[in-house]
Amino acid sequence: MEYLTTRIENEVEKYLSRIDKMGGALIAIEKGYFQDEIRQNAYNLKREIDNGERVIVGVNKFKDVHDIEPKLNTMDTEIRECAKLTN
């Protein structure tokens, strides 16, 4: 557990240092840095899902082979008529 915590801390420090070297968060936003990071992460995630490297239950693994038609709840016509009379 300590190893993982230390690893996360080190990676966060590297990331924040990169932003500081750009001139801070505001400059990074103006340069489109965060938008590029989000775009790249979305691309990588989609690629991992499509390649089966990342499992999303029900999307790319363990899908239902049968389409289940949901049962719709309907109101009893007698109750509906009583509701109309009381309003």
Domain count of the fold of the chain: 1
Residue 26 sits in which domain range?
A: 2-86
Give the mean pLDDT of 75-84.
Answer: 77
What is residue 87's predicted lDDT score, i.e. its pLDDT? Answer: 62
- pTM, whole model, 2 decimals? 0.59
Residue 45's closest CA among 35, 55, 33, 32?
A: 55
pLDDT in tens, 8-36: 999 999 999 999 999 999 999 999 999 99
Two structure tokens written together for 33 = 């840095």
Residue 19 exposure: Cα atoms within 13 Å on the Cβ side: 15
Taking the alpha carbons at both ends of the chain, their separation in whole angstroms is: 63
pLDDT in tens, 40-57: 999 999 999 999 899 999
